[in-house]
Amino acid sequence: MTDEQTPYARFGGEAFFSALVSAFYEQVALDEVLRPMYPEDDLGPAEDRLRMFLEQYWGGPTTYSDLRGHPRLRMRHAPYVVDHDARERWLAAMTHAVNVTLPNFDVDEALTAELRTYFSNAALGMVNS
């Protein structure tokens, strides 16, 4: 697969993932259940980590693993209660971010469906309570 064929490139590369994650964290900042899961005063570092993770997951740069090692998502989220309500709020925030970001990029419907399915499954996989 060439770089132009990766999902990362087909989404629009760094510009897409930056816009997506920024829109997501705008919602997180307003949510009384999700916001406490990010103990830093500034959401910027969390935003950077999620962007790098998503870029790598979808075939982009390996910066996330280069800096942080294996994602170990469940372990990294273990200190937080992620129940059904938190999952639904996280998924609503991410769905909103997808909905406001996608119109600005030329992403085909199959890849869009794959992205939505990934987020739904990822949110379910983080439930620990």
Condensed to tens digits (0 to 9), the pLDDT of residues 106-126 reads 999 999 999 999 999 999 988
Confidence at residue 74, expressed as pLDDT on a 0 to 100 scale = 56
- CATH numbers and ranges of domains, the chain: 9-125 (1.10.490.10)
Confidence at residue 20, expressed as pLDDT on a 0 to 100 scale = 98
% the chain with pLDDT above 90: 74
Confidence at residue 73, expressed as pLDDT on a 0 to 100 scale = 62
Tell me the residue type at 28: V
Query: Closest Cα partner for 94 from 126, 118, 125?
Result: 118
Task: Print burial letters for 26-60: b (CB count within 10 Å at least 16), e (below 16).
Answer: ebbeeeeebeebbeeeebeebbebbbbbbbbebbb
Ranges of residues in the chain with a pLDDT under 50 are none
